[in-house]
Amino acid sequence: MTNSSLFAEAKRFIPGGVNSPVRAFRNVGGEPFFVSRAKGSHLWDIEGRELIDYVGTWGPAILGHAPDVVVEAVREAAMAGLSFGIPNPLEVEIARLICTWVPSVEKVRMVNSGTEATMSCIRLARGFTGRKLIVKFEGCYHGHVDSLLVKAGSGALTHGAPDSAGIPPELAQLTIAIPFNDPERLAETFQKFGQEIAGVIVEAVPANAGLFLPRPGFYEELRRLCDQHDTLLIFDEVMTGFRVAKGGYQELAKIKPDLTAMGKVIGGGLPVGAFGGRNEIMNLLSPDGPVYQAGTLSGNPLAMAAGLAQLRELERVDGWGKLEHIGQQLESGVRSVLGQLGRDYQFHRLGSMFCLFFTEKPVWSFADALQCDLTAFRKFFHGCLQRGVYFAPSQFETGFLCLMHSAADVDKTTDVIDRCLRLV
């Protein structure tokens, strides 16, 4: 069986042949490959091709694929039962760990995906404040939640419009989408709607439109405006949580959100999500409070065991320090290549997260990211794939490093990047 024949079969039974859209390679053309196995920093497709992987299951594989410590933890948990539908001790252990590592989180609830986590944060913010409006930022993706799949209106301060079929315009009207890193627009939004805004949700570091960082002072101003208007600040740390630092990006930024959505790394590769915050907010959740949220598989013992094993291993080996070292190696190599070729493409990195933007203009927002040369990126992507390096199949995604990326991996990757940039 080939990748092409299996994809043709998949399209007979699965919409688009994939269970998550970006996997279809629509942004870069061509057809996706199917993975037969993965270990460490490498994966193998069903045709036997070996690739250095910089997608890492979109973030969770921070230790690398199939790390022994996580596999063994899952095996032991599975022997005791796959799911119970009643509390298990592992739920308490991981909740204690999260609350210990993330100072803004006094209580946490486990769910099954990042989408569930952000959806629950929105409901909780509305329940706590008694308000309806939500503010989000253009280019920030928070899962396929109806009220968050919203794009900006045509005017400077209009309510949103649906970004997907199936979302009633009336629901989208409850969300305001504004540019990221624009303090003036942020201030105008609060001036006009401040007493109606339940919460502001933001990817701690926007990583679903490439990777762009907050300007100095932007989050401090956001925190101040939220406090001034009794609005909840929600950090979406589904990607950055436990990846860029032990306490997430909020530890690095020294910003304390009211609610935090988490996922990916805390599941060790299994489906997981979590959200947490101050006691007075979290206590509104059922069964103690009137804000309903539930999930049959929430706190699943396999996911809890995998997450605990991964987080403890990260702490044991000082994973964040080691990832920073690997990230510096990659960044140095890429910048050296760009300099030799006379390309001023924008390369952004935060710890083990990175993105090469195919534009020579600074990227601070989604509008800036849209300036990228997508034709050049497509050629680059396929060139790298043919030479054994797998980056995300979209200019508007982030790359991820893991602890198993070796110096040899980075050297080969740098060489491949050099060769492929010469083709575009």
- 17 and 83 in a single domain? The answer is no
CB-count burial class (<10 Å; 0-12, 13-18, 19+) for 48: exposed
Q: How many domains does the chain have?
A: 2
- 363 and 234 in a single domain? The answer is no
- 60 and 193 in a single domain? The answer is no
Minimum mean pLDDT range among 142-151, 232-241, 242-251: 142-151
Domain boundary among 273, 293, 316: 316
- 127 and 252 in a single domain? The answer is yes
Distance CA 2, CA 277 (A): 48
pTM of the model: 0.95
Given the residues 249, 264, 345, 379, select the one marked as catalytic.
264
Pick the more confident residue, 81 or 152.
81
Conformational region of residue 94, where left means phi above 0, alpha means psi within -120 to 50, and beta covers everything else:
alpha
Relative to beta strand 197-203, strand 232-237 is parallel
CATH number reported for the structural domain that contains residue 175 in this entry: 3.40.640.10
* Closest CA relative to residue 250, chosen from 271, 277, 270: 277
- 244 and 275 in a single domain? The answer is yes
Alpha-carbon distances, residue 88 vs 80, 85, 283, 380 (angstroms): 11, 9, 21, 48
- 47 and 141 in a single domain? The answer is no
* Closest CA relative to residue 98, chosen from 277, 363, 352: 277
Whether the predicted pLDDT of 263 surpasses 50: yes
Per the DSSP assignment, residues forming a β-bridge with 134 are 175, 199
pLDDT at 160: 58
Is residue 141 part of the annotated active site? The answer reads yes
Whether the predicted pLDDT of 153 surpasses 80: no
Distance CA 149, CA 401 (A): 28
- 210 and 271 in a single domain? The answer is yes
pLDDT at 157: 40
- 14 and 123 in a single domain? The answer is no
Is residue 345 part of the annotated active site? The answer reads no
CATH number reported for the structural domain that contains residue 58 in this entry: 3.90.1150.10
Given the residues 45, 54, 136, 141, select the one marked as catalytic.
141
- 279 and 330 in a single domain? The answer is no
Distance CA 65, CA 62 (A): 8
Mean pLDDT of 9-17: 97
- 310 and 172 in a single domain? The answer is yes
Whether the predicted pLDDT of 167 surpasses 90: no
Is residue 219 part of the annotated active site? The answer reads no
Mean pLDDT of 167-176: 88
Whether the predicted pLDDT of 32 surpasses 90: yes
- 74 and 120 in a single domain? The answer is yes
The whole-chain average pLDDT of the chain stands at: 95
Q: Tell me which residue range forms the domain holding 129.
A: 68-316
Distance CA 265, CA 253 (A): 20
CB atoms within 10 A of CB 378: 20
pLDDT at 411: 98
Domain boundary among 259, 285, 316: 316
Cβ atoms of 124 and 281 within 8 Å: the answer is yes
Mean pLDDT of 155-163: 54
- 32 and 137 in a single domain? The answer is no
Given the residues 45, 53, 236, 368, select the one marked as catalytic.
236
Whether the predicted pLDDT of 159 surpasses 80: no
Cβ neighbours of residue 257 closer than 8 Å, sequence gap 6 or more: 104, 233, 234, 235, 250, 277
Domain boundary among 287, 316, 345: 316
* Closest CA relative to residue 128, chosen from 249, 297, 275: 275
Please calculate the CA angle 110-136-119 and round it to the nearest 5 degrees. 25
Mean pLDDT of 194-206: 97
Mean pLDDT of 282-305: 97
Whether the predicted pLDDT of 387 surpasses 90: yes
* Residue-wise pLDDT tens digits, 82-103: 999 999 999 999 999 999 999 9
